[in-house]
Amino acid sequence: MKVFPETSRIPIYTYLGIPYAKPPINELRFAPPVPSPGWNRTLYARDFKPICPQIENSSYEDLGSENQFRSRETSEDCLYLNIWIPETAIRYGGFPVLVMITGEEMGFDWNANRASGLDLAADGIIVVTVQYRTNVFGWLSLGQKYAPGNLGLLDQQLALIWIKDNIQKFGGDTNRLTLLGHGTTGGPNVMTHMVSPRARGLFARAIIMSGTIFSPYSEINADSKLSQEIVRILACNYDIGRNVLKCLQQKSIHDLLRAYEYIYRNGNYTANLGPIIDSYQPPEKRYIIDDPRSLFQAKALVMEDMPILFGITSNEGGFLYSKWIELARQSIDSLKKYINDTLLPNIIERYDFQGIGQDQIRETINWRYFDQIPQTTAHHIHAIIKIISETRYEIPFYRTLKALSSRNKSTTSESTTNVEGVLTNADDNAEKRTNVSKLYVYLFHHPNSMDMRGKINFFGGASHSSDLPFLMGPSLYREIGRRRLSMVEDKLCKKIRSLFTEFIKGGNPTPGRQFDSWKPYSDELKHIKLISTKPDSFQRNDHSSMENTFEDNLQEIEEKLIGSIDVQETSTNVNTSKNPYNLNPNIQADQENARTSKNAVFLASARDSEYFYYLRKMDSFWGQFLPKLSQIMNETNQEKLRNRRIDLTLEEEQDLFRETAAASKYKHAFFSMLTLVCMLLAVLCMCVYILKKNTNTKLSSIL
């Protein structure tokens, strides 16, 4: 289908719904994907195909005008590609290729507002989006050849193979293929592909957005316990794996999703279905040979010359869950109960704070985030957003930077010995490479941004998924927000698209620039580029501005989100926070920042970013202070128990001594009494003898 975008002077060819695998239904359910046999007749690739089944009424679906979830079509027949190609690519060929993998929490993908490559294709890039299996359909594993698991990764790998084999026919360059992963599924999956021997050579660059394998909520499953729990719920727990698989294949989609929903627990899970270390597979079929975190830290199987673009948004937790709003509308006590009974125990468990010190950890977290704020529902939601941003995104982001930027070191760790011999040829080739991979790190910031659901974030900063509409361009933004970009938003959209397209084309987001070049992140220069309407010299990354934005929008939050204030009047001033289309444009400040000299920009990019120090401060609390506090409390408790045991031992010895002393007294008294009784008996016997003798004497005299 030929499309003429408003932002482009060249037409874009779109191919929607190209099958890369056979439909995973019937006997192919829970089986590795089988390549599509192709088609003999004309394939009409004009419409999106349904995505794979997922739980309905989730926070990742869009809401109607009355806050009602809109039902969207899903199907198990979902393994398709969508391709956008500029007309010039078909004419001349050799165009760079971007392959996108999106998804959230290993269980969802954007169903209503799908990522569209229409505008990126107009910038000279071939864009491909991949549909793959997720949740129970993509990650259930029996730990054997029947339902082996990692099906979502295998779907993505087969899609990459299809693209590698066929993209030249669309004008693409197979040597300039970039793999982009967005979200808490896409980001970790791309990082897993980066250290998988079966994905080696399928892509040359990687972009990781708002997700990382180092998040405690995206960890690789070490075993199949969760899958076995689902099997038990579905009453398929047979002894023979073939029978279990046959039973699962006969279950309905609804039954499978309900069983998965029990594990997911409405997003409050402490462990979730996901990729698994498939050590039970033969070596040639294994996709994850070890924990990817260990492989990244040991620099094992990682392509040293692969450019990486990695970043997050400034307020990831601003992606509001519908449950928070429901509890806030009930009462502040309901919100506090959720915090104390669900949120904090979940965080404490995921960060592995064990032992008696959990109570002290809970008190410390409460003191830091909830005890010193105004006791209103809006401020408590704001605190929840802050703690979610830190624990699920910012701390994992900082730890990923440490793993990716650390220099190659000789190590004898277990992870490297485990992978020894698996990729001998690949490791030999890696030794020949002399280039060092460049890591480009960014922070995306835009106040009152709009996420993929079309919801405005009034809590300051850019919320999770708000960077994707700006990256994909005006077409997707207009589809989600039902409006055009403002001047400030259009400037930001062009800025982020320019940086990303240059990286996709050549591996450097600012080629040929000197004063405002994007410096790679390293141990020597911890440069994190701020992608915002403000210039690069703005070093605070607007964290104080995030707080100010929340205070400015406090009335807006109370009225529109929580509904505690019923105010019907509207404002005609476009610069007030009541206008969701142009909130706080700050045009005057933007004009002043535009006059910033190039020398100031150059000096700013030549020193460590202040956002790095902000991240390090957060990590010092979550990664150093709290674990140390937990250790001290546990050791103190153990010492108390030890002292108590010693005290108990001393008391027992004293009791035993008293009992022994008392026993000796009783023994002495007993023998004394026994002696006295014996003496009395002797006296008695003597008296009887004397009396008897006198009686005999008297009888003798009478006779």
Q: Above 80 in pLDDT, residue 45?
A: yes
Per-residue pLDDT band at 422 (split at 50, 70, 90)? very low
Q: DSSP secondary structure string, 307-341?
A: -EEEEEETTGGGS--HHHHHHHHH-HHHHHHHIII
pLDDT of residue 399: 95
Which CATH code is given to the segment(s) 2-307? 3.40.50.1820
More confident: 98 or 642: 98
Q: Above 70 in pLDDT, residue 699?
A: no
Position 545, amino acid: S
Most confident of 298-307, 339-348, 639-648: 339-348
User: Residue 182 contacts by C-beta under 8 Å, 6 or more apart in sequence?
Assistant: 100, 101, 102, 103, 115, 209, 210, 211, 465, 468
Q: Above 80 in pLDDT, residue 408?
A: no
pTM of the predicted model as reported, rounded to 2 decimal places: 0.83
Q: Please list the alpha-helical segments (H only) found in 206-317.
A: 225-233, 241-250, 253-264, 292-298
Q: 539-580 pLDDT, tens per residue?
A: 444 455 555 677 778 887 877 777 654 333 333 333 333 333
Radius of gyration of the chain from Cα atoms?
35
Q: Above 60 in pLDDT, residue 489?
A: yes
Cα–Cα distance between 602 and 237 in angstroms, integer?
63
Q: At what angle do helices 322-330 and 377-389 cross, to 10 degrees?
A: 150
Q: 387-406 pLDDT, tens per residue?
A: 999 999 999 999 999 999 87
Position 623, amino acid: G
List the chain domain ranges: 2-307
SS3 196: coil
